[in-house]
Structure 1
Amino acid sequence: MRRLGTVLTAVVLAGAAVSATAVSATAAPATGAAPAAAPSAACDTGGWGSALKSADARDHQPLKQIKAGQHACYDRLVFEVPTAGGKPVGYRIGYVKELHQDGSGDLIKVGGGAILEIRVAAPSYDPETGKSTYPGKAGQPLPGVDVKGYRTFKDTRFGSSFEGDTQIGLGVAKRLPFRVVQQKNQLIVDVAHS
């Protein structure tokens, strides 16, 4: 019985190796470029997870810009927030069933299979002058952010800027692992392709 189990295990592993080779071969671009690395080796998203992530607010500087980008293993949303002395920016990011605008509670429709609500401790206006620093409009797509053709991102919606926080709805293909990284004046949200 033990020998049969060993033989079956060897057959299953050999079949998996052949399947992985076939997938890599068919995934190679037809243009003659080098084949893409196997996703499991190149796309290590261990430790990302899909649970709520947050950090305390330490600096309430106004939001300047939001940009999006595509990478081999994930799609990226970058919040430009000037910080004093490189202090981390507070945030609260997690999946929600629906996006409700802060302050009014109005429902904002967000396309995609799942909604990632992103709250950044940075108002989209200058608190001292009231002048807008980021031109987002409630319920509208993010200005200058076009996610058409993205593998994971499907929609973006500006929620509000309320009590020092800016709220964004990010529509993604489905509930996928994500991570949050801070670098100098940037708060970065990466959502994995799988």
Structure 2
Amino acid sequence: MRRWTTALAAVMLATGVAATAVPTASAVTTSTACPGGWGSLDRQDTTVPYQPQALANIRTGAQECFDRLVVDVPGTSAANPLAHRVHYTDDNAVHQSGSGTPIPVRGGAVLEVVVGATAYDPATWQAVYPARSGDPLPGVDLTGYRTFVDTRFAGSFEGESQFGVGVRARLPFRVFQLDNRLVIDVAHSWGTTA
């Protein structure tokens, strides 16, 4: 039997069968085409007339190509957008509106987000979003995220709420309005593949 196995191995080597590796499905790598062309310059829509609005929630989600932050404000839409300013800061902090107090945010870069909605109901002055200045955003857990590192609430002042998002580096982002929410996506890289 040993002679037969040795002879078969010799024939396979001579024909090159044993030397050829066939890739398995797990060895093949695929890349996902990610949206591109976002850039890292400031995004804003401050042309929206002031309307007292309450901030319902801020939440995040990890996607294949980007990390997503969603600001929930009922009653907003493409036809009735939420006023906003989103930009990278010059240091690792957001500076609180009114006082200028720096609120440190961990990360290689800090994205400051200001929206035209408050953490309290403008009609009743009752708190509707349970955030405290300097603390992480309530209910946001960034464990396992590739881009988001930290979040900090800076407060609500004169009809606006301000917070910082610490990101791994100064990466491209986009901002867009959907019904009842403003969406901010920050890419995992400058490339167009995941």
2:36 to 36, 45, 48: 45
Segments of structure 2 that go 5 or more residues without pairing to the other structure are: 1-22, 190-194
Contact 2:76 2:82 (C-alpha < 8 Å) held by counterparts: no
In structure 2, the partner of 1:158 is 153
RCO comparison, higher one (Cα < 8 Å, 6+): 2
Deviation at 1:107, TM superposition (A): 1.2
In structure 2, the partner of 1:124 is 119
- Aligned mates of 2:117, 2:36 — CA distance in 1: 28
Equivalenced residue count is 161
Segments of structure 1 that go 5 or more residues without pairing to the other structure are: 1-24
- Aligned mates of 1:45, 1:152 — CA distance in 2: 16
**What pairs up with 1:25-64 in 2 under 5 angstroms?**
37-39=30-32, 42-46=33-37, 48-56=38-46, 57-58=48-49, 59-64=51-56
How high is the TM-score relative to the length of structure 1?
Answer: 0.77
- Aligned mates of 1:82, 1:145 — CA distance in 2: 19
Deviation at 1:138, TM superposition (A): 0.4
> Does residue 69 in structure 1 map to residue 64 in structure 2?
no
Contact 2:76 2:181 (C-alpha < 8 Å) held by counterparts: no
Q: Percent identity, aligned pairs only?
A: 50
**What pairs up with 1:78-117 in 2 under 5 angstroms?**
78-83=70-75, 86-96=79-89, 97=91, 98-117=93-112
Larger Rg: 2
- Aligned mates of 2:179, 2:134 — CA distance in 1: 29
Deviation at 1:36, TM superposition (A): 6.3
CA 1:108 to 1:84, structure 2 compared with 1: closer, same or farther past 3 Å? closer
In structure 1, the partner of 2:19 is none
- Aligned mates of 1:187, 1:94 — CA distance in 2: 15
The structure in which a higher percent of residues are helix is: 1
Amino acid at match of 1:169: G
How high is the TM-score relative to the length of structure 2?
Answer: 0.77
Contact 2:76 2:180 (C-alpha < 8 Å) held by counterparts: no
- Aligned mates of 1:95, 1:142 — CA distance in 2: 18
Deviation at 1:84, TM superposition (A): 5.9
Contact 2:67 2:185 (C-alpha < 8 Å) held by counterparts: yes
